[in-house]
């Protein structure tokens, strides 16, 4: 086994630290941690150390995700967008563990979805009710945090001379010339200014308008609160991945943009041919989650008609339905809309309407954007991801190549589209469907035409690429898409890989 290990590593042009060899030999599956380590590396190190393999083994043992508690910098199954290299393939152990999806009946339940439940008319009262619901839901989460026990209303907190704790919605964020930050917060009783000092632990955090945060601090004699800490709703307790005991997989696509002249039909054919093939990985796919922008749409942006190969909206969906028809029977498809689809643009968006649904195979499941869907008991939060446009504009350093950064922020804020009044239109429903009320096991988005998988505090993050080449608009804005990549997540372990076509 020792020789096998050394040969395995040297074939990859790297070395193995002697202590790592001894450690691996003491493991039940010595190759497994190495396999996963190589799958996680953008660039291989000169030498694989004991620390590398221990961390990888730990991650594997805890279904890859529990280890996020330690905020380990190199996550075994992480494939950041920038390193989704063309040759990257599923690791041997991921492939080896494949189970045949056709041996498992589908088990899909839609747990949360606006479809059929929309009540808003867009009146001023609707907006007041909507923001009240958002504030109440998020402040309820914050009140459960130990740090915010006994949180007061802002009107009471501002009169206090001792330490105060309160919860507010951010109405403005600005930086002072000394590098401090001032947050304006409000609740239903009052508003207050909070100073986050440049040398405090919260100074490096990013804040956006309309998110809800908790503050622990002291009021100074000018009525300004000096924050000791800023508490986000976040995911306070890191849980292990809710594995199902079987190695069947869910694959994720989005942004197919059928009807566009830049739709990649050859890549798509490769995908559908592979999905129907005898490849063990393909046969392990039980679910396909399609996170919106399934067609290019009509009139979505100025002069779009010049970039359309199919200029009829039904024609576009008909073409998509034909393209999906060859997908194998063992694959259950769940489809939500995005901002290019033929439903209202305001989020939450309902599922595609009946005249479009009937173009597709009857076993396809349509849901709204966002939707919380249970796949064999694994909870998947599928959201197209339009709000990433607002995150990119609002937060310095955030960009379209790093969608997972925005997704982590959404989970910290427990809201999919916190910034109101930007590019993401929001329908003021009675209940805020964009709150992340329930922590999912998998959080999937699309929209930015990038790709990536990672984990945050026990939640698998997936951003699901595109099947469209660079558009003239993207070229103008210097956005380089990463098309034709397929993230695949094992529902047994939460392990994830990206397959390129």
Residues that bind Fe ion (CB under 5 A): 255, 293, 338-339, 447
Secondary structure class of 286 (helix, strand, coil): strand
Contact (CB, 8 A) for 243 and 63: yes
Q: CB-wise, 259 or 338, nearer to Fe ion?
A: 338
CB of 55 to Fe ion, least distance (A): 35
Give the whole-angstrom CA distance, residue 157 versus residue 146: 18
Contact (CB, 8 A) for 136 and 172: no
Q: CB-wise, 244 or 288, nearer to Fe ion?
A: 288
Give, in order, the Cα–Cα distances in Å from 208 to each of 182, 213, 308, 426, 453: 12, 10, 36, 16, 24
User: Angle between the 50-61 and 18-25 helix axes, to the nearest 10 degrees?
Assistant: 30
Cβ-in-10-Å burial (0-12, 13-18, 19+) of 218 comes to: middle
CB of 384 to Fe ion, least distance (A): 6
Give, in order, the Cα–Cα distances in Å from 480 to each of 57, 404, 486: 34, 16, 17
CB of 146 to Fe ion, least distance (A): 39
Q: CB-wise, 244 or 426, nearer to Fe ion?
A: 426
Which is nearest to 254 in space by CA: 287, 216, 294, 283? 294
Give the whole-angstrom CA distance, residue 401 versus residue 242: 29
CB of 57 to Fe ion, least distance (A): 38
CB of 393 to Fe ion, least distance (A): 15
Which is nearest to 389 in space by CA: 350, 370, 429, 417? 417
Write the DSSP symbol of residue 351. Answer: P
Q: CB-wise, 25 or 300, nearer to Fe ion?
A: 300
Q: CB-wise, 283 or 447, nearer to Fe ion?
A: 447
Which is nearest to 260 in space by CA: 320, 298, 314, 307? 307
CB of 379 to Fe ion, least distance (A): 23
CB of 289 to Fe ion, least distance (A): 15
CB of 347 to Fe ion, least distance (A): 11
């Amino acid at each position: 086994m020792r020789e096998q290990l050394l040969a395995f590593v040297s074939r990859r042009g790297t070395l193995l630290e002697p202590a790592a060899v001894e450690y691996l030999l003491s493991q039940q599956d010595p190759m497994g941690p190495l396999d996963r380590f190589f799958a996680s590396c953008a660039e291989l190190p000169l030498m694989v150390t004991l620390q590398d393999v221990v961390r990888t083994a730990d991650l594997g043992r805890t279904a890859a995700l529990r280890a996020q508690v330690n905020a380990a910098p190199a996550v075994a199954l992480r494939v950041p967008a920038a390193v989704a290299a063309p040759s990257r393939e599923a690791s041997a152990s991921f492939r080896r563990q494949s189970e045949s999806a056709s041996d498992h009946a589908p088990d899909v339940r839609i747990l949360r979805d606006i479809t059929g439940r929309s009540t808003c008319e867009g009146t001023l009262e609707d907006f007041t009710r909507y923001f009240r619901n958002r504030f109440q839901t998020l402040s309820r989460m914050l009140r459960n945090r130990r740090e915010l026990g006994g949180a007061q209303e802002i009107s009471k907190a501002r009169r206090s001379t001792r330490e105060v704790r309160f919860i507010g919605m951010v109405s403005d964020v600005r930086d002072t010339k000394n590098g401090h930050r001032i947050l304006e917060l409000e609740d239903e009783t009052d508003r207050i200014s909070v100073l986050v000092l440049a040398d405090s632990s919260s100074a490096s955090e990013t804040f956006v308008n309309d998110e809800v945060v908790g503050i622990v601090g002291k009021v100074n004699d000018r009525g300004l609160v000096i924050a000791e800490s800023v508490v986000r709703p976040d995911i306070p307790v890191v849980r292990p991945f809710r594995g199902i005991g079987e190695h069947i997989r869910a694959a994720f696509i989005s942004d197919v943009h059928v009807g566009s002249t830049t739709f990649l039909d050859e890549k798509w054919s490769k995908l559908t041919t592979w999905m129907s093939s005898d490849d063990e990985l393909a046969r392990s796919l039980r679910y396909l989650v399609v996170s919106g922008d399934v067609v290019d749409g009509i009139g979505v942006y100025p002069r779009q008609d010049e970039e359309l190969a199919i200029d009829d909206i039904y024609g576009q969906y008909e073409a998509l339905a034909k393209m999906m028809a060859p997908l194998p029977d063992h694959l259950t498809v769940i489809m939500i809309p995005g901002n290019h689809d033929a439903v209202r643009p305001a989020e939450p968006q309902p599922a595609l309407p009946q005249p479009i649904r009937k173009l597709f195979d009857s076993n396809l499941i349509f849901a709204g954007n966002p939707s919380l869907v249970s796949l064999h008991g694994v909870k998947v939060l599928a959201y197209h991801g339009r709000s990433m446009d607002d995150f990119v504009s609002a937060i310095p350093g955030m960009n379209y190549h790093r969608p997972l950064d925005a997704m982590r922020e959404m989970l910290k804020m427990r809201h999919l589209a916190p910034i109101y009044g930007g590019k993401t239109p929001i329908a003021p429903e009675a209940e805020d469907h964009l709150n992340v009320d329930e922590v999912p096991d998998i959080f999937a988005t699309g929209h930015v035409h990038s790709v990536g998988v990672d984990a945050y505090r026990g939640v698998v993050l997936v951003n699901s690429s595109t099947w469209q080449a660079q558009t003239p608009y993207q070229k103008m804005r210097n956005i380089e898409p990463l098309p034709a990549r397929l993230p695949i997540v094992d529902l047994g372990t939460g392990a994830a890989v990206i397959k390129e076509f």
